[in-house]
């Protein structure tokens, strides 16, 4: 089943790089009492993800926060080391939190898995963006396979 507007975000433990190494990021804590812009993509360092998707959110972080977003989260089915290196390569800094869904638990729970085994990438996430308000999905923009039309930071900004 695919997550829909009004649904609650599933409780899953993800990973992110912290000051002392890899840290657990529980989705219950991540979304509790906050308005979060979450976007997911097939893979760090891949063409569209690196050229457009992540840079758009880094570039528009201040505008999103001005519209009431407390946290901007980038999620991919990669490990925390890769997500950290990718964030550094794009100057995500404190603008975008880089989160790893290494085992695709969150992605599978949302119903947004993408079979990229034909390209040697295994299970990945479909491309999407959403606004999550205190754990509830308020805005959801899921892309068709191979598309980058509705999940951009600019499109999400237009919905706030």
Q: Which of 40, 49, 77, 156 is catalytic?
A: 49
49 catalytic per annotation = yes
First to last CA, the chain: 27
Q: Which residues pair with 116 in a beta bridge?
A: none
Q: What region, left, alpha or beta, does residue 146 occupy, with left being phi > 0 and alpha being psi -120 to 50 degrees?
A: left
Question: Measured between alpha carbons, how far is 16 from 25 in angstroms, rounded to an integer?
Answer: 7
Query: Among positive and negative, which fits the CA dihedral 91, 157, 75, 94?
Result: positive
- HEC secondary structure over 112-132: CEEECHHHCCCEEECCEEEEE
- Please list the active-site residues: 49
């Amino acid at each position: 089943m695919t997550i829909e507007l009004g649904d609650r975000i599933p409780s899953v433990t993800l990973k992110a790089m912290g000051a002392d190494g890899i840290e657990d990021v529980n989705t219950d804590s991540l979304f509790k009492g906050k308005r979060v812009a979450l976007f997911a993509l097939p893979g760090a360092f891949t063409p569209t993800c690196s050229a457009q998707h992540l840079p758009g959110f880094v570039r528009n972080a201040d505008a999103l926060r001005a519209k009431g977003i407390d946290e901007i989260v980038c999620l991919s089915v990669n490990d925390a080391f890769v997500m950290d290196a990718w964030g550094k390569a794009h100057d995500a800094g404190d603008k975008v939190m880089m989160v790893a869904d290494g085992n695709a638990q969150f992605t599978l729970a949302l119903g947004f898995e993408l079979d990229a085994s034909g390209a040697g990438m295994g299970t990945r996430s479909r491309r999407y963006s959403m606004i999550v308000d205190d754990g509830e999905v308020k805005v959801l923009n899921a892309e068709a396979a191979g598309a980058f039309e509705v999940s951009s930071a600019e499109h999400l900004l237009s919905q706030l």
